[in-house]
Chains A and B, each alone.
Chain A
Amino acid sequence: MKLTLKIWRQANASAAGAMHTYELDGVSTDMSFLEMLDLLNEQLVTSGEEPVAFDSDCREGICGMCSLMINGQAHGPEVTTTCQLHMRSFNDGDVITIEPWRASSFPVVKDLVVDRSAFDRIIQNGGYISANTGAAPEANSVPAPRDKAMRAFNVATCIGCGACVAACPNGSASLFLGAKITHLGELPQGQPERYSRVASMVAQHDHEGFGGCTNIGECAAACPKEIPLDVISQLNKDLRSAIKQGY
């Protein structure tokens, strides 16, 4: 396949960025989207132009390091991560626009690389169960109802990639937040800190400059792990209880 790529290039956080156009030939449908960018970079290096910086690590859809707005969609046209998107989803002759995540809480570091450290800071503010090493009771001493454990697992699959934020017109991280609140809140082990957790995580979310949820639903549509929108309902429900309890 032959493609035309329009890619955001930006030297560093404070530099002004711009779209650059590249022609790329010899793309195979078996390539992943990032392997296509590897090919472009190999070509750029050969011709003496600095390669395009982009994040990726596991390249199997689980680490959450890859990102990219592809033709305006977070992670592109399929429900998956950019690393698992394959070129068979595109056609010969396509023009593809590639930009970094769009969100002021995720500032650009360089080209397509953004800073998502705000997510770590949200987790630091309650996104855990306090259980020091060695203090744990025997694992089967606390049974967890299977349906609740399943729901906890289903939302614990969040990979922290930030697609929900990038897709949201209001730059909200409510889906990310709701996934963690629901994961820990569904388990018996998560009950003691359930309400303090939601209060402090939401406070940090707002402090980081993420917007509020405006019920658009783009986040769930863009989520490569298909975290359902109802985690935001759970978030709001738990937050309401927390406020009632004085948190």
Chain B
Amino acid sequence: MAAGTHYLSGLTATNGPAVQTSDDAEGFYVLGDKLVDEKTPTGPIAERWTTRKFENRLVNPANRRKLSVIIVGTGLAGGAAAATLGEAGYNVKSFCYQDSPRRAHSIAAQGGINASKNYKEDGDSVYRLFYDTVKGGDYRSRESNVYRLAEVSANIIDQCVAQGVPFAREYGGLLDNRSFGGVQVSRTFYARGQTGQQLLLGAYQAMERQVAAGTVEQFTRHEMLDVIIADGRARGIIARDMVTGEIETHLADAVVLATGGYGNVYFLSTNAMGSNVTAAWRAHRKGAYMANPAYTQIHPTCIPVTGAHQSKLTLMSESLRNDGRVWVPKNAADCEKDPREIPEADRDYFLERIYPSFGNLVPRDIASRAAKYMCDEGRGVGPQIEETGPDGEKRLVRRGVYLDLTDAIRRMGREKVEEKYDNLLDMYERITGENPYELPMRIYPAVHYVMGGLWVDYELQTNVTGLFCAGEANFSDHGANRLGASALMQGLSDGYFVLPNTIRDYLADGPFPVIDETHPAVVEAQQAVQERINRFMTINGRRSVDSFHKQLGQIMWEYCGMERTKEGLIKAIGLIRDLKKEFWSNVKVLGSADSLNQDLEKAGRVADFIELGELMCIDALNRRESCGGHFRAESQTEDGEALRHDEEFAYVAAWEWGGDDGAPVLHKEDLIYTAIEMKQRSYK
């Protein structure tokens, strides 16, 4: 028990380090040294964060204005961090690819944000939120990080209320809560179905206030294309002004990536059209480790695909599972019938049947797989969609299950249902043309969130000195599966409370020696970015960028989606390598590089998605266990439930870039628990 035990200081570990005996990804990777988070805190879990905040060095207010931080991304993590560091008096440069920071995709989060306020006196506590989050993440997250997240959750609500976030309230004017998937207490704060929007606008307004105060400089329609690592430290970024095409260099004492998740590697996801992995991937290629890239969250309640024209998928908040009942017909012959004509006895409320204690509120990964199996069995509903199976054969399948609000409307009345879910149900009707008050809604799982991301230590610093990563972009505190209403919590926790308290310890050593654009590291990065753009513009192939993206998405969804197999993943790696070759010889980008060129922007993103997709498959191939959102068909119980192998895989898989022609290098960070014991999850 060498690695991972140094921080126990008298505490007892409940597990030992993992020893992997299988090697499914043999030949696709190189095994590197074990990775130890040198910043892991010590002592009793409830005191770790407080102690760290005290031990981390301070920066004198007069010195803060001499220190600069670049923050890429303006979602909950990036926006909150920019506002907070600006308020503290640092010089912040904030970047986003959208036309305003307020558009960041955190805005689309619907359901809510968890906090251990225990306002319902239903037995909630910091420890319970910690426990639920570690368990929900299938014991693949760091206990110290998760405890800290649970601890600051209450501060987040205080902060947001003070900013004027209009959370739902009771008649007495106090805050209301609801319950969410995977837990049995009501700890979710919400603003109808638009919680993400309201929280993001709070962070955005706080950040704009700092723009006016002169501490934050805002760069919109700018895309980061490389990170500058000079003399061993991240010192800046290369960004493209998306309007003029100009390649700009921005230098600072530290760089924070808060650039969101990479779900768009699947082409179809609930992410925004512009959500991408480029900032993180460019950092990865310069040495930052990418951790657990295969951990993908497939959200159970999205509006099903209607055809090949589909450009994105839309989530229906899983809060609907509080009141809606999920079912499919018992008999495949009924699948084409009007659902209202199918009698109760012929309906299979499969989540309630298989998981009687959690019913429709089982965690997302479980609900998603169950829906997939129902459709695989031929009991799906809605239009038949053509798809290519793992065998390469085309087939027609109905990909949808019912989410039925009839009982809720009967129980609470239509008015109450409207008040709770109105905007969601409107959106459903607009997209599908069907009225959810009359017909049961049709839903199907879709890629929604990634738990993987850049590896960071307890202080949110990547293995590249001076390069920090926050929010969904880091490999995060959600382990292998994120619970509902926990993404907003993590984004704001990182942005408002964690990063500002950890980055100051790093900045206390600054300001670092001044560098300028003649520094070899800057020149190298500028040239690399310019050459890559030139290459896109001169390939002059025959296929559109989107067509490559769609093809990549199909490969990823089929072989690295809800269920993964060794055979399928090996096949996918081959397909992706072929696709990469074709992309670089046959992609077509029109227009010029010195003006707004949306195809050029997309080309860069898709090129990075292709490389990421390969790494995701290798990571999924290596992890021959089922945990959270990662389900390997080879690792399941007799009744088809996910089966973890803690003795082999209780580790964080941190991948080092192996070069364009080399294999990625795997560094394992052991997950050792002292405050909680690992158990197989059961929601039955």
Which of B302-310, B360-368, B502-510, B604-612 lies on the face that meets chain A?
Answer: B302-310
Which residues of the partner chain B approach A199 to less than 8 Å between Cβ atoms?
none
Determine whether the beta carbon of B309 is less than 8 Å from that of A35: yes
Q: Does B87 contact A (CB under 8 A)?
A: yes
Q: Does A16 contact B (CB under 8 A)?
A: no
Determine whether the beta carbon of B208 is less than 8 Å from that of A135: no
Determine whether the beta carbon of A86 is less than 8 Å from that of B433: yes
How near does chain A come to B208, taking the closest CB pair, in angstroms? 5
Chain B window 259-282, contacts with chain A (Cβ cutoff 8 Å), 1 for yes, 0 for no: 000000000001011100000000
Determine whether the beta carbon of B312 is less than 8 Å from that of A149: no
Which residues of the partner chain A approach B84 to less than 8 Å between Cβ atoms?
132-133
A84 nearest in chain B by CB position: B430
- Taking a contact as CB atoms closer than 8 A, the residue among A45, A57, A80, A144 that contacts B588 in the complex is A45
Which of A61-69, A205-213, A227-235 lies on the face that meets chain B?
Answer: A61-69
Chain A residues 64-121 with CB under 8 Å of chain B are 64-65, 78, 80, 84, 86, 88, 109-110, 113, 115-117, 119-120
Chain B residues 271-327 with CB under 8 Å of chain A are 272-274, 306-307, 309-312, 314-315
Determine whether the beta carbon of B208 is less than 8 Å from that of A127: yes
Which residues of the partner chain A approach B598 to less than 8 Å between Cβ atoms?
51, 53
Determine whether the beta carbon of A153 is less than 8 Å from that of B166: yes
Determine whether the beta carbon of A149 is less than 8 Å from that of B162: no
Determine whether the beta carbon of A51 is less than 8 Å from that of B309: no
- Taking a contact as CB atoms closer than 8 A, the residue among A11, A86, A127, A159 that contacts B431 in the complex is A86
How near does chain A come to B25, taking the closest CB pair, in angstroms? 35
Determine whether the beta carbon of B208 is less than 8 Å from that of A60: no
Determine whether the beta carbon of B159 is less than 8 Å from that of A53: no
Which residues of the partner chain B approach A127 to less than 8 Å between Cβ atoms?
205, 208
Q: Does A23 contact B (CB under 8 A)?
A: no
Chain B window 152-179, contacts with chain A (Cβ cutoff 8 Å), 1 for yes, 0 for no: 0001011111111011111111110000
- Taking a contact as CB atoms closer than 8 A, the residue among A39, A53, A149 that contacts B596 in the complex is A53
How near does chain A come to B188, taking the closest CB pair, in angstroms? 14
In the bound assembly, the distance between CA atoms of A80 and B314 in angstroms comes to 15
B310 nearest in chain A by CB position: A35
Interface size on B, residues (CB 8 A): 82
Determine whether the beta carbon of B590 is less than 8 Å from that of A59: no
Which residues of the partner chain B approach A78 to less than 8 Å between Cβ atoms?
430
Which residues of the partner chain A approach B157 to less than 8 Å between Cβ atoms?
139
Determine whether the beta carbon of B197 is less than 8 Å from that of A30: no
- Taking a contact as CB atoms closer than 8 A, the residue among B101, B155, B164 that contacts A190 in the complex is B164
Which of A164-172, A181-189, A215-223, A239-247 lies on the face that meets chain B?
Answer: A181-189
Determine whether the beta carbon of A65 is less than 8 Å from that of B497: no
Determine whether the beta carbon of B99 is less than 8 Å from that of A65: yes
B110 nearest in chain A by CB position: A62
Q: Does B526 contact A (CB under 8 A)?
A: no
Interface size class, chain A? 35 or more
Q: Does B128 contact A (CB under 8 A)?
A: no
Q: Does B211 contact A (CB under 8 A)?
A: yes
Q: Does B191 contact A (CB under 8 A)?
A: yes
Determine whether the beta carbon of B311 is less than 8 Å from that of A131: no
B589 nearest in chain A by CB position: A45
In the bound assembly, the distance between CA atoms of A70 and B585 in angstroms comes to 38
Known contacts A140-B119, A157-B194; A63 and B98 CB within 8 A of each other:
yes
Chain A window 27-51, contacts with chain B (Cβ cutoff 8 Å), 1 for yes, 0 for no: 0101110110011001001101111
Chain B residues 102-116 with CB under 8 Å of chain A are 102-105, 107-108
In the bound assembly, the distance between CA atoms of A130 and B87 in angstroms comes to 10
Q: Does B534 contact A (CB under 8 A)?
A: no
Known contacts A88-B433, A109-B596, A146-B169; A184 and B272 CB within 8 A of each other:
no
Determine whether the beta carbon of B496 is less than 8 Å from that of A51: no
In the bound assembly, the distance between CA atoms of A63 and B159 in angstroms comes to 23
Chain A residues 136-162 with CB under 8 Å of chain B are 136-140, 142-146, 149, 152-153, 156-157, 159-160
Known contacts A58-B105, A149-B169; A120 and B218 CB within 8 A of each other:
yes
Which residues of the partner chain A approach B274 to less than 8 Å between Cβ atoms?
57
Q: Does A129 contact B (CB under 8 A)?
A: yes
Which residues of the partner chain B approach A32 to less than 8 Å between Cβ atoms?
311, 431
Determine whether the beta carbon of B206 is less than 8 Å from that of A45: no
Determine whether the beta carbon of B163 is less than 8 Å from that of A131: yes
Determine whether the beta carbon of A136 is less than 8 Å from that of B211: no
In the bound assembly, the distance between CA atoms of A140 and B170 in angstroms comes to 11
Beyond known contacts A128-B205, A183-B164: 6 more, CB 8 A cutoff: A51-B598, A57-B272, A78-B430, A136-B161, A160-B102, A187-B166
Sample 18 A-B pairs with CB under 8 A, ordered by A number: A30-B309, A35-B310, A50-B591, A57-B273, A59-B272, A59-B273, A60-B312, A62-B108, A64-B102, A65-B103, A129-B164, A133-B84, A139-B117, A152-B164, A153-B168, A156-B201, A159-B197, A190-B164
